[in-house]
């Protein structure tokens, strides 16, 4: 077992691009779930809006990549209105049901043969990121940094852009939540009726929160798409939202640093567990008392099982995560 | 309780949870099943014939088609011939860029690739979201769309009734659990999958006839429901954990169980042994296999019995009372916790039954319930969240509408209309068909 390699990968994962795009998605989800109390289970659909916004520039519209941000914004607003209008007046779990359904449908639509012309079907879209590549000041073939932080020029570029966006949005959210707007949405989370009785339009605030969170999620999808240089429908499955949610709860809901550090810890733990189990099962299945427990091919499911278990345990025993405060997790739907 | 006590009990609780997981892994680890998990990195290539059966596109596997995988340099990595499920798995050394080629000459006569489908598919490295990448070639045979619109509608109606009955059976429990405890249980789909997979285990791996195995499966489904309540949700209620947090816990549970099934069963879908090879009989314009006809009739009987039970029996009345108003019910002397246990047992058993039927109808796989869950949600929302009869009516209608919609919607987007139903219901009549008009916001 190569412990040094496992640890190196783990440390690298804390600051890797995956943590960055998860952090962006978590910042968005935090606005909705943490501050406003909206159960958005379709963050992956908002991420897909960003990725497909970029992808569609080359696939369908034939315009420059930067138009993708506008297209993405338009998609996010359409999606936000679609799920928000029917549900935001109702009890919290309706939004959960509708968003999870929407996320699934969005994935089916973008991977369908029928709409291949727009979204590239199950092959996804590959060629859209040249303008972003060209902006990179680094040599794409070169290797930068020292182990374990060793990246190719392009990875370094996407990482810098990704983490810069994380910092920018963290700061924005921090300021937003200190503003009167932030106080209103937090009050909505605590007691909607009280806010309504103060003459605030709760519905409109919730909608704004949903869409603002969706826009941050959109940038998450864009960073992910740019890093991979491709848009693949299956990267936006509904479970992605739940992994982001787990990461957010781990860090601490309704805290800006929770939404950034949570994803870093999530990826650190995930990569550790993944690498550890892969090393463990590299030569022969891991077994206890001669009974094979985990085979090589089963490492993936075991990891995700652990994520599910982690989410359950966190919600039960430490809903405030690492940084949160228990008072701000007083969620109750009924 | 002092804080040390608290943290100690918490520590034990966490430890217990891990112990349960480990034990579960241990228990389920029968090697023959475990070997079902697929090879490390592989490309699954399937060739599907989108036959135009009665004007409705249906996927049918095409067997005996030669496919090959090469790397970008043109070096051959592997070859395969599709089996009776229309697919073949070619293992590849790593997640990398590959080229998949289909040998057009090996297509059976009368089958051609759908217009616009290439015979060569490039796979990029990042397309491997898991260790497997699925590549599907769509073929289409021409002709046979001569059926009249009336016939097509009739056939869709029959299929819709069948799907609707299954959804209704699966979602009764979901709705009753919501009614009695307020929990929106996202892990309910996994209870359906559980039924299907345990039926597969009994029927295919142990060779027990399905007719004998099915009652056991259904009982085990009930036990799973009881266990979910007893080990998780009853504890959460006792700790005074909010409903939204419970909902998130159920999401975690759903992820955990689904991956447990994947771990155990592997990623493929497989048919049950019994009753899997039946020829559809024609009744006028519609055709249905005797198997599907029987499951539909059994489903109908079960649903009617459930409704009668809820209406007439003492326990049924108590369930409805708890659904209506838990505190009032409990102050009239109803043991609400007992009623909740009954509901979880019944919900689990019905879900497992739905899983067996669904497994007969389609095939069993680790995601079979997860694919149904939002049809179930659409159904109970349409019928009225928390109302037991609502789940029956709503689930049935959603199944019917989804199948009917597939007359106009492509098969791959078949479930999309359910979302539309969901949204329209929430805008127009959020309390659903049978729900009482009350504040739901």
Q: Which two tokens stand for residue A37?
A: 């109390």
User: pLDDT tens, A277-331?
Assistant: 988 888 878 877 767 778 888 888 999 999 999 999 998 888 888 888 777 765 5
- Tell me what pLDDT residue B267 has: 83
- Tell me what pLDDT residue B144 has: 43
- Tell me what pLDDT residue B2 has: 44
Option in B127, B239, B243 nearest A334 (CB): B243
- Tell me what pLDDT residue B118 has: 65
Q: DSSP letter string over B372-423? A: THHHHHHHHHHH-TT-HHHHHHHHHHHHHHHHHHTTTS-GGGTTHHHHHHHH
> Which of B196-212 are b and which e, b meaning 16 or more Cβ less than 10 Å from the residue's Cβ?
bbbbbbbbbeeebebee
Query: What is the distance in angstroms between the Cα of B273 and the nearest Cα belonging to chain A?
Result: 25
Query: CB A298 to CB B34 under 8 A?
Result: yes
pTM for this prediction: 0.81
With beta carbons less than 8 A apart as the criterion, state whether B339 and B319 touch: yes
> What dihedral do alpha carbons B307, B312, B316, B320 form, nearest 10°?
80
Beta strand pairing call for A291-294 and B98-102: unpaired
Which chain A residues are within 8 Å of B430, Cβ to Cβ?
Answer: 89-90, 94
Q: Which two tokens stand for residue B358?
A: 């669904």
User: pLDDT tens, A179-188?
Assistant: 999 999 999 9
Which chain A residues are within 8 Å of B435, Cβ to Cβ?
Answer: none
Q: How far is the CA of A94 from the CAs of A41, B151, B246, in angstroms?
A: 11, 37, 15
Q: How many separate helices (H) and strands (E) can be counted in chain B?
A: 14, 11
Cα distance between residue B4 and residue B384, in whole Å: 45
3-state secondary structure (DSSP) of residue A218:
helix
On the 0-12 / 13-18 / 19+ scale of CB atoms within 10 A, B343 is buried
- Tell me what pLDDT residue A333 has: 43
H-type alpha helices, B47-93: none
- Tell me what pLDDT residue B74 has: 63
Cα distance between residue B195 and residue B270, in whole Å: 14
Is some CB atom of chain A closer than 8 A to the CB atom of B121? yes
With beta carbons less than 8 A apart as the criterion, state whether A40 and A32 touch: yes
> Which of B247-260 are b and which e, b meaning 16 or more Cβ less than 10 Å from the residue's Cβ?
bbbbbbbbbbbbbb
Which chain B residues are within 8 Å of A312, Cβ to Cβ?
Answer: 17, 232, 249, 252-253, 256
Residues 102-121 of A with CB under 8 A from B: 102, 104-105, 108-109, 111-114, 116
Taken in order A247, A251, A252, A257, the sign of the CA dihedral is negative
3-state secondary structure (DSSP) of residue B166:
helix
From the CB of residue A52, how many other CB atoms can be counted at a distance below 10 Å? 31
Q: Which two tokens stand for residue B328?
A: 């009032």
Interface test with A, best of B386, B412, B417, B428 (most A CBs within 10 A): B412
- Tell me what pLDDT residue B115 has: 55
Option in A92, A291, A319 nearest B29 (CB): A291
CA-based nearest residue to B78, from B127, B36, B104, B45: B45
**What's chain A's Rg over C-alpha atoms?**
20
Query: What is the distance in angstroms between the Cα of A165 and the nearest Cα belonging to chain B?
Result: 23
On the 0-12 / 13-18 / 19+ scale of CB atoms within 10 A, B279 is exposed
Q: Which two tokens stand for residue B402?
A: 């989804």
Is some CB atom of chain A closer than 8 A to the CB atom of B37? yes
Q: How is domain B149-428 classified at the CATH fold level? A: ABC transporter involved in vitamin B12 uptake, BtuC (1.10.3470)
CA-based nearest residue to B50, from A26, A270, A317, A112: A112
Question: Average pLDDT, stretch A126-135?
Answer: 86
Residues 128-167 of A with CB under 8 A from B: none
Phi and psi at B76, nearest 5°, equal: -70, 135
> Which of B226-243 are b and which e, b meaning 16 or more Cβ less than 10 Å from the residue's Cβ?
bebbeebbbebbeeebbb
Cα distance between residue A190 and residue A199, in whole Å: 16
Query: What is the distance in angstroms between the Cα of A156 and the nearest Cα belonging to chain B?
Result: 18
Is some CB atom of chain A closer than 8 A to the CB atom of B94? no
Query: CB B252 to CB A89 under 8 A?
Result: no
Cα distance between residue A22 and residue A248, in whole Å: 9
Phi and psi at B201, nearest 5°, equal: -60, -50
Cα distance between residue A320 and residue A277, in whole Å: 29
User: pLDDT tens, A6-50?
Assistant: 999 999 999 999 999 999 999 999 999 999 999 999 999 999 999
Residues 151-190 of B with CB under 8 A from A: 182, 184, 186
Option in A112, A293, A311 nearest B251 (CB): A311
With beta carbons less than 8 A apart as the criterion, state whether B359 and B199 touch: yes
- Which stretch of DSSP H or E encloses residue A274? helix A256-280
H-type alpha helices, B201-289: 210-227, 234-238, 243-265
What is the separation, in whole angstroms, between the first and last Cα of chain B?
A: 37
CA-based nearest residue to B44, from B120, B123, B134, B139: B134
Query: Structurally, what CATH architecture does the domain formed by B44-141 represent?
Result: Sandwich (2.60)
Q: How far is the CA of B280 from the CAs of A186, B53, B57, B292, B395, in angstroms?
A: 59, 13, 17, 9, 25
- Which stretch of DSSP H or E encloses residue B68? strand B66-71
Query: What is the distance in angstroms between the Cα of B275 and the nearest Cα belonging to chain A?
Result: 31
- Reported ipTM: the value is 0.90
Per-residue pLDDT of chain B (441 residues; tens, 9 = 90+): 344 455 555 556 666 666 665 555 555 544 344 333 344 677 888 887 765 554 444 566 777 777 878 776 666 777 777 777 777 888 777 777 777 877 776 777 666 666 556 677 777 766 666 667 777 777 764 444 556 788 888 888 998 999 999 999 999 999 999 989 989 999 999 999 999 999 999 999 898 899 999 999 999 999 999 999 999 999 999 988 888 889 999 999 999 999 999 998 888 888 888 787 677 777 777 788 888 889 999 999 999 999 999 999 999 999 988 988 888 888 998 999 999 999 999 999 999 999 999 999 888 999 899 889 989 999 998 988 877 788 889 999 999 999 888 888 887 888 888 888 888 888 888 888 877 665 454
Beta strand pairing call for B42-53 and B286-288: unpaired
Query: CB A292 to CB B381 under 8 A?
Result: no
Query: What is the distance in angstroms between the Cα of B423 and the nearest Cα belonging to chain A?
Result: 6
Phi and psi at B276, nearest 5°, equal: -85, -25
Is some CB atom of chain A closer than 8 A to the CB atom of B422? yes
Contacts of B151 (CB under 8 A, 6+ apart): B54, B285, B286
Is some CB atom of chain B closer than 8 A to the CB atom of A5? no
Option in B127, B255, B413 nearest A239 (CB): B255
Query: CB B410 to CB A114 under 8 A?
Result: yes
Task: Give the chain A residue nearest B179 (alpha carbons).
Answer: A334
The arrangement of strands across the sheet holding B76-81 comes to: B76-81, B66-71, B98-102, B120-123
Domains in chain A and their CATH numbers? Answer: 3-329 (1.10.3470)
Query: CB B126 to CB A228 under 8 A?
Result: yes
- Tell me what pLDDT residue B29 has: 46
Which chain B residues are within 8 Å of A306, Cβ to Cβ?
Answer: 21
Q: How far is the CA of A64 from the CAs of A169, A221, A233, B272, in angstroms?
A: 25, 18, 22, 52
Query: CB B245 to CB A331 under 8 A?
Result: yes
Whether the bond between A100 and the residue before it is cis, its omega within 30 degrees of 0, is: no
Q: A-B interface: how many C-beta pairs under 8 angstroms?
A: 204
CA-based nearest residue to A223, from A47, A27, A45: A47
Q: Which two tokens stand for residue B221?
A: 């489904």
Contacts of A83 (CB under 8 A, 6+ apart): A42, A95, A98, A99, A102, A210
């Amino acid at each position: 077992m190569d412990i040094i390699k496992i640890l190196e990968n783990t440390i690298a994962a804390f600051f890797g691009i995956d943590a960055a795009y998860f952090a962006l998605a978590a910042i968005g989800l935090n606005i909705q779930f943490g501050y406003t109390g909206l159960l958005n289970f379709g963050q992956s659909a908002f991420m897909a809006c960003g990725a497909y916004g970029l992808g569609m520039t080359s696939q369908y519209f034939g315009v420059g990549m930067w138009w993708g941000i506008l297209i993405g914004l338009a998609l996010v607003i359409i999606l936000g209105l679609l799920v928000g209008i029917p549900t935001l007046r109702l009890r919290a779990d309706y939004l959960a049901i509708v968003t999870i359904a929407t996320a699934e449908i969005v994935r089916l639509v973008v991977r369908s043969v029928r709409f291949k012309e727009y979204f590239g079907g199950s092959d996804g879209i590959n060629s859209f990121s040249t303008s972003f590549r060209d902006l990179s000041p680094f040599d794409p073939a070169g290797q930068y940094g020292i182990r374990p932080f060793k990246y190719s020029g392009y990875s370094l570029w996407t990482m810098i852009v990704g983490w810069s966006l994380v910092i920018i949005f963290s700061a924005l959210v921090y300021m937003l939540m200190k503003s009167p707007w932030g106080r209103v949405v937090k009050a909505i989370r605590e007691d909607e009726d009280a806010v309504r009785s103060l003459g605030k339009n709760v519905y409109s605030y919730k909608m704004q929160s949903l869409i603002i969170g969706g826009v941050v999620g959109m940038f998450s999808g864009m960073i992910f798409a740019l890093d991979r240089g491709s848009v693949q429908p299956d990267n936006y499955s509904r479970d992605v939202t739940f992994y982001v949610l787990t990461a957010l709860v781990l860090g601490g809901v309704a805290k800006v640093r929770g939404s950034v550090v949570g994803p870093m810890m999530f990826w650190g733990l995930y990569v550790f567990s993944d690498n550890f189990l892969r090393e463990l099962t590299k030569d022969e299945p891991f077994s206890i008392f001669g009974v094979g427990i985990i085979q090589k091919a089963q490492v993936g499911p075991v990891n995700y099982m652990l994520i599910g278990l982690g989410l359950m345990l966190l919600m039960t025993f430490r809903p405030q995560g690492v940084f949160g405060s228990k008072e701000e997790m007083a969620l109750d739907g009924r | 309780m002092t804080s040390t006590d608290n943290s100690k009990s918490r520590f034990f609780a966490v430890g217990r949870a891990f112990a349960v997981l480990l034990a579960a892994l241990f228990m389920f680890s029968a090697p023959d099943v475990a070997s079902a998990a697929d090879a490390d990195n592989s490309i699954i290539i399937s060739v599907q014939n989108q036959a135009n059966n009665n004007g409705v596109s249906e996927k049918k596997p095409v067997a005996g088609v030669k496919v090959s995988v090469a790397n970008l340099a043109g070096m051959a990595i592997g070859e395969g011939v599709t089996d009776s499920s229309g697919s073949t798995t070619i293992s590849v050394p790593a997640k990398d860029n590959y080229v998949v080629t289909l040998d057009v000459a090996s297509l059976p006569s009368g089958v051609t690739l759908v217009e616009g489908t290439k015979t060569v598919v490039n796979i990029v490295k990042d397309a491997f979201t898991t260790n497997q990448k699925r590549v599907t070639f769509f073929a289409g045979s021409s002709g046979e769309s001569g059926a009249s619109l009336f016939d097509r509608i009739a056939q869709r109606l029959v299929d819709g009734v069948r799907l609707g009955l299954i959804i209704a059976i699966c979602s009764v429990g979901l709705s009753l659990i919501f009614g009695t405890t307020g929990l929106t249980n996202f892990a309910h789909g996994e209870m359906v999958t559980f039924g299907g997979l345990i039926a597969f285990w009994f029927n295919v791996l142990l060779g027990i006839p399905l007719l004998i195995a099915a009652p056991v499966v259904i009982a085990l489904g009930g036990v799973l429901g009881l266990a979910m309540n007893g080990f998780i949700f009853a504890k959460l209620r006792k700790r005074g954990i909010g409903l939204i947090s419970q909902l998130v816990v159920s999401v975690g549970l759903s992820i955990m169980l689904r991956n447990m099934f994947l771990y155990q069963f592997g990623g493929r879908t497989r048919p049950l042994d019994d009753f899997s090879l039946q020829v559809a009989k024609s009744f006028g314009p519609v055709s249905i296999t005797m198997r599907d006809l029987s499951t539909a009739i059994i489903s109908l009987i079960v649903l009617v019995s459930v409704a009668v039970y809820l209406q007439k029996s003492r326990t049924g009345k108590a369930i409805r009372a708890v659904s209506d108003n838990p505190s009032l019910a409990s102050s009239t002397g109803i043991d609400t916790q007992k009623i909740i246990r009954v509901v979880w047992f019944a919900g689990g058993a019905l879900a497992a039954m739905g899983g067996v039927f669904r497994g007969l109808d389609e095939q069993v796989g680790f995601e079979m319930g997860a694919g149904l869950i939002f049809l179930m949600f659409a159904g109970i929302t349409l019928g009225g969240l928390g109302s037991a009869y609502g789940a029956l009516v709503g689930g049935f209608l959603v199944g019917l509408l989804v199948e009917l919609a597939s007359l106009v919607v492509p098969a791959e987007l078949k479930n999309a209309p359910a979302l539309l139903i969901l949204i329209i219901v929430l805008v127009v009549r959020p309390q659903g068909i049978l729900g009482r008009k009350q504040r739901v916001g």
